[in-house]
Every structure is written in structure tokens, then in C-alpha cells.
Structure 1
Amino acid sequence: MSESKAPNLIKEEMIEEGVHNYSTKRSYVSPTDQKVLDKLNWFQDQKLALMMHWGPYSQLGIVESWALSDADAEWSRHGVDWEVTGEAFKKEYFDLNKTFNPIRFQPEKWAAIAAEAGIRYFIFTTKHHDGFCMWDTQYSDYKISGEDCPFHKHRYADICAHLFEAFRKKGIGIAAYFSKADWHIDSYWSNRYERGCYQNRGPSYNPLENTEEWERFVRFTHNQILELGTKYGKIDIMWFDAGWVCKANNQDIRLGEIIDKVRTFQPGMLCADRTVGGAYENYVTPEQCVPEEPLGIPWESCITLGNSFAYAYSDTYKSAREVVLLLIDIVSKGGNLAINVAPQPDGRLPMEAITSLKGLGAWLKVNGEAIYGTRVCKPYKKDGIAFTKKQDTVYAIESFEKVSHQVPSQVWIPYDGEVSNITLLESNERVIFEKKENGYQVQCPEHDGEAPVARVFCLTS
């Protein structure tokens, strides 16, 4: 490839079929603001987030936003009769606001379920790439509180306001997901330019050649970010999607400028400018995957509880056991898990998802000490044991993938550090152990019945 095209291609390659890759330690810039560093320490203590993608697209049960991009049609328009050009479908998609009426939305119930699940912070899509705003923005009429949306007269019409308040009351932190792209506003997508109606992820024009139009879009974006950061209470994190909107692609929205301004109102607020690297990607965000090794920087894997980020009819959901094992894997490598649950178009959470979340919470209620507030501990994961550490205690976590697995009475813990006492976290019962080369042989009580999801050994010196 030529050098002139390399920057554009780099960012496009970070996103394949709507799934983002993630930045590496090489591009990470540690914050210098002590309040941001303190908030990063808070972030690394939390370990578990609830993420939600919700909007008018939920009515169709298709992937959020991406079917609007003609360049992404091949993978995103499955199951939709989108005819030859897709123009009729795109109009129908943009008109979904006129039928979106989630009258069974109960923010306090969502927050209560999240608290029972052991959730510590909440990532909500205030706006996806399609430009539909889930808050009462004054800068767009394409919003949940707009007059052409039937939900606009409901007492919960400003969805973000009510959700953020309900979750804060449960002691859960708030992260506002915001797409830097906006495929609805004409200062980003317009058919006035050379390619006409054909659209891809980026703007319809070259920002370097149409500076006034681009500046109009930047002002719009800054106004919306400032609105969320000043009128919706305490925001712990701003979580920015659409990594292709960046300086490398000549689509610089000067994010740092507006984040610095918001931080005068929200001291220490984290910024997750995903896949971009640099001073405003305070943590990185692997999507639908877990790194093989610790990354050495703050990170969070965003992974769906079902098969899709958006609500999908007849979706299948991970069991509570699967989610716990996923969480253990991530935390042992120093990361956080953001588990995505997509609400139904009527405003309820799917019952299968609620069952999994409650099972996750039941395990954390007993064993959360080995998860929350911990940091990585070598050898991380070895011989079927995952490790975490908090102060002077090392937690060795033995997992069982199936209820039918045998629960051994002798367990090998491959830990080299000095240990004087080992107890079972669930019962605080001391167990007999013998130090051997490169680890400890532990004698456990006999176990009857189904295998637990995981059992935790507390190692102290």
C-alpha cells in the first residue's frame, strides 16, 4: 500500500463487519491528570459492567445501524427485503422512530436487576451511528422525545435521564456510549455530493475540501457531548464508538477539546475513544473477544449475553455459568467485563437474560471478594486455575464448565509464592495443603452433588 493511503486503511481495518478490534499498549498514553488516574483506579476495581444497545432498530430485530451503510450491506442486511439499491429500506429504517413506543420500560426495575447481578457500572447507548438520540437533546429532532415518536409523551420519555438516575440510586456508575458518527444529520451524510445516495461509514464528502460543512458537524457533535456531560448528572465515563472518525482519516472532531471542557464539570471523567489510541483512550475495548494474555493497560471486553448487541428475536443467551467463567477469565488477565443485554422493543428485558444475570449475581454474592477490587497475579491462568490478588490475599479460582464435572478432593494450585494458610472463600473453612515444587497440593472436603460454577481458595502468607 502507498504511504498516503495507509492512515485511512489502518482505521478501517480496526472494524470488520461492525466488530471493533482494539488498541495495544504501544499506542496507550497514560493520563497525567491525577483525578483521571484516580478514576482509572476506580474503573479497574469495578470489574463488571452492564452494556445496553437499544433504540428503534430493536423493532426489526436486526443489527443496529450498520444496514444503513451501503458499503456494509453485504453482511448487515441479511433477512431484510432491501431491494436493489437499499433506498427504500434506508427510509423505512430512519422512519422507525415513528413506531418506537416502549411503554413497558421500567428504569427502576432494570436498575434493580443490574444491582442483583452484581453490576458496578452501566454503559448505555445514548446515540448509535444511526443518529437516533435516547435523550432529550435540543440539537436534533431525531430523538426519543421528538414529536413524531409516540413515546414522547410518556413520563419516562427522556430515557437517559431516568435510566441514569435509577442506576445511580443503586450505587452503579454511569458510562454514556456515544457514536462519533451520525448517519442521520446532513452535515455528515448527504446526497448532495459526488457519490449521491451511496454511503459508507465516513462522511459523504472530504472534510479537508469541505471545511465549513465539517465544522458544522463538529459543532453539532461538541454540543451534544457537552449536553450529556452537563445536564445528566454525574458521568463516570464517556464511551465513544465509530473509531474511524479520527484525525488519521481526516475526520478529526477535536475530541480532546470537548472532553477537557466536560471535565471541568465532571472532574476525572474517563474517556474511552476506542481504537484511536492516544491521550483520550483511557482504556481499550476488545469486542466479542478476550485477549490471550494480560494487556498491561486498563481494558474492558464488551461481549454480548445473546448473539447480538441489538435485540434479536429468538436469540439464545449465555447461561449464568458461562458468564461467570467469562468474567473469571477476563479478571484474571486484569480486565473488566461489559456484558451486553439488549432490551426488547416494548421496554422489557428478555426473561432468559434476567435469569442469567441473577445467576451471575448469586455467584458474586458469595465469591465477589475474589473479583471486585482485585489485580492481576502471576501465573494468571495455569493448570485450570485462575488467579487474582487483593492486598495480601491471593485468590485461586477453580472453574467447572459443566454441572456434571467431577469435583476433585485434591486440587493442584500452581502458585510459587509463600503461603501459610489456605481457606475456601465460600465457607471460610481451612484446608490441609502441602507445599511442593512450583505449587501447593490442597486437600478439600468431599463434594456431593452438582459441580459448582467455581470454587475459590484464599491464599495468605
Structure 2
Amino acid sequence: MKKISALFLMLVNATVLLAQQHNMSKTYQPPTDPLVQQKLHNWQDLKFGLFMHWGTYSQWGVVESWSICPEDEGWTQRKGPYGATYNGYVKAYENLQTTFNPTKFNPEKWVAAAKSAGMKYVVFTTKHHDGFSMFDTKQTDYKITSAKTPFSSNPRSNVTKEIFNAFRKENFLIGAYFSKPDWHSEDYWWPYFPPKDRNVNYDPAMHPEKWQKFKDFTYNQIGELMTDYGKVDILWLDGGWVRPKNTIDTTVDWQKGIKFNQDIDMAKIVGMARTKQPGLIVVDRTVTGEFENYTTPEQEVPAAPLDHPWETCITMGDSWSYVPNDHYKSASQIVQLLVKVVSRGGNLLLNIGPGPDGDWDPVAYSRLKEVSAWMGINGEGIYGSTSVAPYSSGNIYYTKAKNANAIYAFVLADKDGLKLDKTVALKVNNIKAVKKVTMLGAKQSLKYKLTGDDLVVTIPTAIQANPGQLAATLKITY
């Protein structure tokens, strides 16, 4: 790889901190397929998943794909030695294929860390918007297994297959992220016209044969993923501007820019995919309807429970893909995010971006190790739980066991660590039916009394202060 100036990296780091606003769908249509319903039901119990954005862009440490998008937005800026002209930048960006050689790639190492931290499913970027395939597609040579890519000579070069196999062996559900738009495809960004924004750069209605080629290309790539990569549980589709025109929500700024009908025939794609992968959960992000089996708020926790299955995707660092010296959330922040998401009835998909060498930043492993210690004690209040009113009160968040008469109250630590007061007031329904209160990880039952609508629990002095604890969990048994 060509040397990149320190100034370039500094500018890039500043750029990736800017995030694109993602808008969640406003309505939800439940799936009717019993196999999908069951898979979705099982997925909702898992609560905690791993997301990974990885591609050639990790070599520059730039925001994934977006720097080649000709939009004047904060996350699309082209900085450094290649940014003088758009065409020059794209040429240098696509040339990253010829230097991509992540020789430290070892998915089993990721599995061990993720499993220990309590993660139960994985979603991996098989292809982002730039069109570089992280799997052995037969539809293009712009892929990790191409002879143009140095890593192609590695016996584990088909990294999607290796990742899926490694996580599947440890009973993770497997999710394939796939970008519907493809900015490398000449049938999406036709070289006859310059691209103007993230959208297709020609009118599909005027050039139906070209659009049909793109539809076939998309169908065939998804078909490969559904055929050659073992059992896949989730097809996680990004790039919501590729959608039928009648689904555009003109109250959403980025959707206002969609000028053409970009219908890729999701019914045909999903029909094929579920023939190969019965019960497949499909997540056609932001496209309300039968192919968005759960919604995906991004980098946020809804203030109240949603009335349907949902998952929020949040970065462990400040960016989705690898950035040198990224700022990672603390273990306390991660645990608090998980607790807050689960108290609202959702799943947390936590993103870690592998670096150009094929490994995570050591800080990511350190964070997951800390989360692991907490989950080993407190996980029973997370998995298989449901939301329960009042959901939260102050720094206390509640969940309810699905198959037991128990409510869990998570008392979150502040920045100086956990320090409980002598008494903790809990808001619980059916307060007179309480039989016992315990703290997960402690042996003794706790004394409590009823005061109005509060369950006031006495905390023994010995367990009031625990600077290393990320959150305490009180279990209320009925």
C-alpha cells in the first residue's frame, strides 16, 4: 500500500466521526410464514449480536464506501493525497484491491471473544455499497478471492465462508449483510453518465435492459450467499434507496433524493432465498412491508418499547469500519447500552471493524473481556426477557423473564463505578405478590418492604460499593 501522510489519517479520522442519519420505518408488517415467525421469535431471545464492517477501505481507515459517493456530505469527503479529483480518488480507492492482504485473519479468535462476552449472533458485511465482495462471487472480479487481491492466495481467502463456518460451529445465528446498491457495477453506475449521488445514475424506465442486468446481478449474488455458505439465518439488506418508488417516504430527507423507481423485485429474491434457506429472516432496511421482518434504528436507543421486533446497531468505536486510534466505548457504556436496549424489548447489534491486517484493535478484545465478566453473573436478566412497565426509573432499568415469575432491576453505575445506597426503591407491578429479592452474584436474600407503590430493598453494607461493577441486578421473584 502507498504511504499515507499523517495529515491524511488525521483528516480521515475527523471525517468518520460524522454519521449519516438513519431513519427507521414508521410501520411494520408481521411475516406470515410460520418458519419465519419461529426464527424471529428465537432471534428476539438472543438480545446481543456482533456486527462487523470490513473491506478494502480499512487500509485507509476511511468511512466505509462513502468517500466515493459524489454527495457533499460530511461522511463523503475525500481527504488526503488522492482527493484532488473525483475520478482520481475512485481509481486509487478501487486500486486498494491490489494491496488488501489481511494475513492476521483468524475468525476463531473473534468467535471466542464474542461468545465469552455473551453475543449470540453475527452479521457480517459480505458486500458494502462500494461493491467489493468479501466472498467468492462468480458475478464480478472485484472481490477478495480475485487474483488481483494478494489475499486470494491464502487458503482462507473466502472470508465470508470462514467467518460463517467459525461462528456457526459455536451455535451463533448467521447474518449476511448485503448492500443492494453496488457503486462498482456498470449496471448501477453506468459509465456513460457520471454518478450524481448515491442513487442509480440513469432512469431504469428509459433503460430497462440495463436495469434488468443489475437485477439479475443482485439476484445471482444473493443466490450464491444462500447456496454456498451453509445455513444462513438473516439476510440483512442495506442501501434503502434501492426500493420501489411507491415506498419512498418524502418526509425523510435522504429519501427525497430518490428520483427513479429502483425496484429490484424483492419478492423474487426472497422467494428464492427462502427456498434455499427456509425460515430466513429478511431485513430490507427502511422499506416498510413484508420484507422488513424487524426494524433497525441506528446509533440510538428508542425512548420507549416498540410494538414489533427491532434491533439497534451501534458502533463500539466512533466509526463503523476500522480507523486508527479510534475511540472505543467503555465496558460500562456497552453494558448500559445493552441493558437500555433490552429494557425496551430490542436487540443490540454491536459493531467492531476489523483492521487491514485482519484483526481487531486490542482494545476491542479488552472491552469484550470486561463485558464477559459482567454477563457471566447478570446474563439471566438479559436473555429471553421482555420489556415490562415502567421500563425504567432514574438509573434503574427493568426486564421480565419470559418463562418465570421474575423481574430484573438493573441499577446502572455512574462514571465512578457502582455505589448503591442503603436502600433502593423499585417500581414493580403486583408489588404485594413479591416473595423474594436477591442480587445476582450475591448469596443472601435481601430485606424489603412495601412503601406506597415502591418496593424498598435494603442493601447490605458489604455489597453497597463495588467500583469494578458495571451494573447490579436485583431479581424480584413472585
Q: Normalization by structure 2: what TM-score?
A: 0.90
Residue in 2 aligned with 1:238? 235
Kept in 1: contact 2:385–2:400 (CA 8 A)? yes
SS in 2 for 1:317: coil
Residue in 2 aligned with 1:157? 157
Relative to structure 1, the CA distance from residue 451 to residue 345 in structure 2 (aligned partners, 3 Å threshold; closer, same or farther) is: closer
State the one-letter code of the partner of 2:406. T
> 1:372-451 residue pairs with structure 2 within 5 A?
372-390=383-401, 391=403, 392-417=405-430, 418-446=433-461, 447-450=464-467
Residue in 2 aligned with 1:9? none
Which digits, 9 at most, give the CA deviation of each residue in 1:426-461, with x for residues without a partner? Answer: 224211100122220001111344162111111121
SS in 2 for 1:378: coil
> 1:46-125 residue pairs with structure 2 within 5 A?
46-72=46-72, 74-77=74-77, 79-125=79-125
State the one-letter code of the partner of 2:345. G
State the one-letter code of the partner of 1:397. F
Kept in 1: contact 2:164–2:229 (CA 8 A)? yes
Cα displacement (A) at 1:82 = 4.4
> 1:170-189 residue pairs with structure 2 within 5 A?
170-189=170-189
Cα displacement (A) at 1:406 = 3.0
SS in 2 for 1:119: coil
SS in 2 for 1:377: coil
Cα displacement (A) at 1:198 = 3.6
Residue in 2 aligned with 1:279? 290
Residue in 1 aligned with 2:366? 355
State the one-letter code of the partner of 2:134. M
In structure 1, the gaps of 5 or more residues are 1-15
SS in 1 for 2:419: coil
SS in 2 for 1:379: coil
SS in 2 for 1:263: helix
Residue in 2 aligned with 1:346? 357
Cα displacement (A) at 1:72 = 4.2
In structure 2, the gaps of 5 or more residues are 1-17, 246-259
Structure 2: distance between partners of 1:405 and 1:187: 56
Kept in 2: contact 1:179–1:240 (CA 8 A)? yes
Cα displacement (A) at 1:75 = 3.7
Cα displacement (A) at 1:22 = 1.0
Structure 2: distance between partners of 1:103 and 1:385: 45
State the one-letter code of the partner of 2:20. G
Q: Residue 204 of structure 1 is aligned with which of 178, 201, 204?
A: 201
Residue in 2 aligned with 1:10? none
Residue in 2 aligned with 1:456? 473
Structure 1: distance between partners of 2:417 and 2:73: 44
Kept in 1: contact 2:392–2:398 (CA 8 A)? yes
Cα displacement (A) at 1:171 = 1.3
State the one-letter code of the partner of 2:226. G
Which digits, 9 at most, give the CA deviation of each residue in 1:372-395, with x for residues without a partner? Answer: 111111111113211111121111
Cα displacement (A) at 1:83 = 4.2
Does residue 1:290 correspond to 2:287, yes or no? no
* Corresponding pairs, count: 441
Residue in 1 aligned with 2:248? none
Residue in 2 aligned with 1:329? 340
Relative to structure 1, the CA distance from residue 42 to residue 75 in structure 2 (aligned partners, 3 Å threshold; closer, same or farther) is: same
Relative to structure 1, the CA distance from residue 404 to residue 427 in structure 2 (aligned partners, 3 Å threshold; closer, same or farther) is: closer
Residue in 2 aligned with 1:126? 126
Kept in 2: contact 1:406–1:451 (CA 8 A)? no
Structure 2: distance between partners of 1:403 and 1:371: 24
Kept in 1: contact 2:286–2:295 (CA 8 A)? yes
> 1:302-313 residue pairs with structure 2 within 5 A?
302-313=313-324
Does residue 1:260 correspond to 2:271, yes or no? yes
State the one-letter code of the partner of 1:331. V
Percent sequence identity over matched residues?
Answer: 42
Cα displacement (A) at 1:38 = 0.5
Kept in 2: contact 1:66–1:72 (CA 8 A)? no
SS in 2 for 1:70: coil
Aligned-residue Cα RMSD (Å) equals 1.5
Cα displacement (A) at 1:108 = 1.1
Cα displacement (A) at 1:64 = 0.6
Cα displacement (A) at 1:79 = 3.4
Kept in 1: contact 2:238–2:284 (CA 8 A)? yes
State the one-letter code of the partner of 2:476. L
Residue in 2 aligned with 1:135? 135
State the one-letter code of the partner of 2:116. E
Q: Normalization by structure 1: what TM-score?
A: 0.93
